Structure 1
Amino acid sequence: METCSLQEEEAQDGRQDALQMIAAKIIQRAWRRYVCREVFRHVQKLISHCNQQNPQTVLRTVNPREAKLLDSAAGVFIRFRLGGVTFPPRVYYKIFTYRPIVDVCASSPRDYHQLGRKKLLAQKSDPALNQTGRSGWYQRVENNNWRLFCCKVVGWNEQTEICADKRIDFHPSKLQRKQDVIKWKKRKKIEWLKRM
């Protein structure tokens, strides 16, 4: 009789220990979820606070050299985004303008320093001579990358810019640029469908 009651008590103790472990895991998961949400809300508040301030004052704390280049007449605003592979996410920024910008090199992208160029312009009637490659033409380079908002936290071997090596094949014709964008969107959609 006593051996049965001892075995039952041990079984109940084992069940209670298992239930306590399960309850502890549930509480720990809930606490971690709460902490992660609070960190995310804090980062969101910081970003919204920075969006309401003058871009020059926001940038002065992070990158004073670039902040000197900005003024209120430039019509500049800063966009923020979250990124990174680990949690908490890192904050990246990019500088934009809502004023028109003229790219002088894009209006005449040809390479005028080629020796045979003058001959080709003189002989426009022959279409075989007119078709040359665009090897020496102007090629737009994107210098406005997504940069890390706080570089002091990052180690020396970690990446501080996103899309830094992005080169854009710029065509002077607006129609051709639109067609290139349509082709790019189709290609991205096909890649996305293949991954599914």
Structure 2
Amino acid sequence: MSHSLKVPVTGVPKSDNPHLGKGHKVHLSNTVKTKEKQQNKDVSAHIIQKAWLSHLDKTVFQLLKHTICAAEHHVTHEILKKVSPLEAELAKDPCMKCKVRFRFSGEIFPPFIVFKIFLHTEGHGYKYFSGKKFLKPSSEAEADAYKIMGRKKFYHQIKEDERLFQKFKITDDIDVVTLKDYMQYSSHLDEIPASSGGRNNCWRRLSLENIPRTMIMYDIVDYAESGIISKRLKKEMKYLLQRPKTEEMRQHQLRIVSEVRSPLSLSSLQPLYRPYQQQSQIRHLGRRSKQALMKVEKMKRAYKMAKEKMLLWGLNQKWTYQVQSRKRQLSSPPHLLTL
């Protein structure tokens, strides 16, 4: 009979604790569960953060929407007066029948506000006078324009016209074929400057400096740009964020945004400097070094010595003047002394 011999394996160390493998598995499972819980917490926090940021963006957009409506219906002249006083006076003329439109623009959130002036002619149309249309090629007027403008400026204008044509393809009346071409041509005239034959009436950005500070409209735009909310906007925000149920409520919200508030009193503002009396009352805290104290004492002694020298010099001058005046009196003739 053959007996099988058990050969001991010396390459693998034998553990003294028979329950070590089982405990190690339990520890690994607990670690995996802890990591999964942490990942779930991170995902939940990310979802909450995303929802909160979305809520803030909706709030800012709603406030900016109120700002645009209030600017277009209530305070158009005040805003345009800050941007361009001449255009404001022209738009105020009832004969011009101008309308200022506001809208959002920009590639990132929050958007910025732009405006544009439109002229309503009630179907009669309007005509812009431009040298580009009246000066025909190979004419005497064009030769005179060449002499007045100079060669460099004249050729630069020709190159600019060619560049615009290569970019937009519709830059003149003869290029218009369909209604779409006419709309593109009209928009193109608004964009290019008057020196190139355009209207120079493009969409312009409305900055924070163009909005009156006495209106909540200013606080809304400032909040959208900087993220800092003012006290008066915080006070009215709850009502402004409500969805208007009636037209009266909507108009009331717009009036709140465009209402002129009293400016802040100067007494509530703290000055950037301290009066001299308050500066003398300030106590300097902390220890001074020995060198600083010695320097202060040295400056005090120098100041006292200079003051004493000035005092002695003044007394000396006074005594000298008295002696000289006494000598003049004694040396004068007797008849002058009697007088």
* Superposition TM-score, scaled by structure 1 size: 0.56
Within 2, Cα distance between the matches of 1:104 and 1:2? 90
Partner in structure 1 of residue 81 of structure 2? 60
Q: How big is the shift at 1:41?
A: 1.4
Q: How big is the shift at 1:58?
A: 3.0
Within 2, Cα distance between the matches of 1:66 and 1:31? 42
Partner in structure 2 of residue 83 of structure 1? 105
SS state at 1:105 partner: coil
1:100-145 deviations in Å (ceiling 9; x for gaps):
5642637xx54389349xxxxxxxxxxxxxxxxxx9x9x7412111
Gaps of at least 5 residues in structure 1 are: 117-134, 154-196
Q: How big is the shift at 1:151?
A: 6.3
The equivalent position to 1:114 in structure 2, one of 114, 119, 139, is 139
Partner in structure 2 of residue 27 of structure 1? 48
User: Which amino acid counterpart does residue 37 of structure 2 have in structure 1?
Assistant: Q
* Superposition TM-score, scaled by structure 2 size: 0.34
- CA 150–21 in structure 1, closer or farther in 2 if over 3 Å, else same: same
- CA 25–85 in structure 1, closer or farther in 2 if over 3 Å, else same: same
Which structure carries more relative contact order (alpha carbon 8 Å, separation 6+)?
2
Could you say which structure has the higher helix fraction?
2
- CA 7–75 in structure 1, closer or farther in 2 if over 3 Å, else same: same
Within 2, Cα distance between the matches of 1:67 and 1:10? 71
Q: How big is the shift at 1:6?
A: 2.3
Within 1, Cα distance between the matches of 2:199 and 2:37? 63
User: Which amino acid counterpart does residue 24 of structure 1 have in structure 2?
Assistant: A
Gaps of at least 5 residues in structure 2 are: 1-21, 142-157, 159-171, 173-195, 211-339
- In the alignment, does 2:211 pair up with 1:142? no
Q: How many residues align?
A: 134
Partner in structure 2 of residue 14 of structure 1? 35
Over aligned residues, Cα RMSD in angstroms? 3.4
Q: How big is the shift at 1:96?
A: 0.9
SS state at 2:66 partner: helix
- Tell me if the contact between 1:55 and 1:77 (Cα under 8 Å) persists in the aligned partners: no
- Tell me if the contact between 2:91 and 2:99 (Cα under 8 Å) persists in the aligned partners: no
